[in-house]
Amino acid sequence: KKCEIMVLKDNHSIWFQEVPLSTEDTPLASISNIGQCHDSILTMSLDIGDTDDVCESLSDCVHWYRLGLHLGLKVPRLDTIEKQRRERVADCRVDMIAAWLRKEDKVMKKGGPTWKQLIQALKSIGEISLSEEISLKITKEREVSNPAGSEKKKGRRDLSTD
């Protein structure tokens, strides 16, 4: 289902779900669709063009090697990165992220490069607060980058009030 976030003039955000105009008077099935919209933002595929955003989000993560393993990168690749970058954490982290975004090794078997996969991998190495911070940041950025004005679009129903 197509979902949309709108930011109103007072900075309040509203989730919308596209519905046919003929169902304006029909109540929506459930508020759980909001979670589906949030999930769709986090499951959008990332690629090498997202390197800067991912690197910025992980700037505080020093456990790049363990994170790389949980994202599906193999030990020989991570060892090569570590040698080539002379163990400089920030540089190693950038190369690890780039390899993940290029879908190298077993990345696709782990779910591919998505924010959701990154968040799950961070949780699995004990970086809970960082994973939560990234989740909030990504959903906030999507709200800001998709403002649609101060009024609902025709054919859309506000899920937050149903």
Whether the pLDDT of residue 9 is over 60: the answer is no
- Across all residues in the chain, what is the average pLDDT? 77
pLDDT at 41: 79
CB atoms within 10 A of CB 59: 9
Q: Structure pTM?
A: 0.67
- CA distance readout (Å), 42 to 45, 55, 95, 101, 104: 8, 16, 22, 15, 20
Whether the pLDDT of residue 146 is over 50: the answer is yes
Euclidean distance between CA atoms 131 and 124, whole angstroms: 10
pLDDT tens digits along 38-85: 567 788 999 999 999 999 999 999 999 999 999 999 999 999 999 999
Whether the pLDDT of residue 32 is over 80: the answer is no
Q: Which residue has the tokens 């607060």?
A: 129
Q: Are 97 and 54 spatial neighbours (Cβ–Cβ below 8 Å)?
A: yes
| E strands in the chain | 3-7, 13-18, 156-158
* 124 burial type by CB count under 10 A (0-12 exposed, 13-18 middle, 19+ buried): middle
The share of the chain scoring above pLDDT 70, in percent, equals 63
Whether the pLDDT of residue 108 is over 80: the answer is yes
